């Protein structure tokens, strides 16, 4: 019969108030080397795959690429939101009453930024073409579903 020790409390810093709030910019600066390592890893894996002359892309490479592009998109969105907040703070300092943009206006600004980014990379036409193809496909699928449901009710 030994003495009972108090149970050790496990704390997860993501949900603990003692650790404070996450400052995303500081986090990105402190761990920016990981992005460089990830890029090097991706380059190495794509070279290795090219040497093997495989036509189908490795799922791991595809996952790394998708994760990277998603992170870049999220960073651009965050930058747009930060610029909106900065503009509004400056206007408040100059004497204007605080104004908060509606979600639709924020989404529109993010979309404008996305189009500007695609235009700068020269990928805007390809994106719009794909978007048109998808929407036309969705429209024909919808009309076919309506047609079939009308036949069933007759």
Q: What is the pLDDT of residues 107-145, one digit of tens each?
A: 999 999 999 999 999 999 999 999 899 888 777 766 666
Q: What is the mean pLDDT of residues 55-79?
A: 91
Kindly list the distances between the CA atom of residue 21 and the CA atoms of 11, 16, 81, 104, in Å, as whole numbers in the listed order: 15, 9, 18, 27
- pLDDT at residue 23 above 90? no
Q: 12 pLDDT band (50/70/90 cuts)?
A: confident
* pLDDT tens digits along 70-102: 999 999 999 999 999 999 999 999 999 989 999
Element containing residue 13 per DSSP (H, E) = none
pLDDT of residue 154: 46
Q: 147 pLDDT band (50/70/90 cuts)?
A: low
Q: What is the mean pLDDT of residues 53-67?
A: 87
């Amino acid at each position: 019969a030994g003495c009972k020790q108090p149970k050790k409390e496990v704390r997860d810093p993501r949900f603990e108030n003692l650790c404070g709030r996450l400052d995303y910019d500081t986090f990105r600066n402190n761990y920016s080397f990981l992005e460089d390592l990830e890029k090097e890893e991706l380059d190495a894996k794509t070279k290795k795959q090219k040497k093997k002359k495989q036509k189908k892309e490795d799922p791991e490479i595809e996952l790394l690429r998708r994760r990277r592009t998603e992170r870049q998109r999220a960073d651009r969105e965050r930058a747009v939101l930060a610029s909106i907040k900065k503009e509004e703070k400056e206007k408040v300092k100059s004497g204007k009453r605080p104004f908060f943009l509606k979600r639709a206006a924020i989404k529109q600004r993010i979309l404008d930024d996305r189009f500007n980014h695609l235009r700068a990379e020269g990928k805007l036409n390809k994106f719009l073409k794909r978007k048109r193809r998808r929407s036309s496909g969705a429209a024909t699928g919808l009309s076919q579903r309506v047609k079939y449901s009308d036949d069933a009710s007759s």
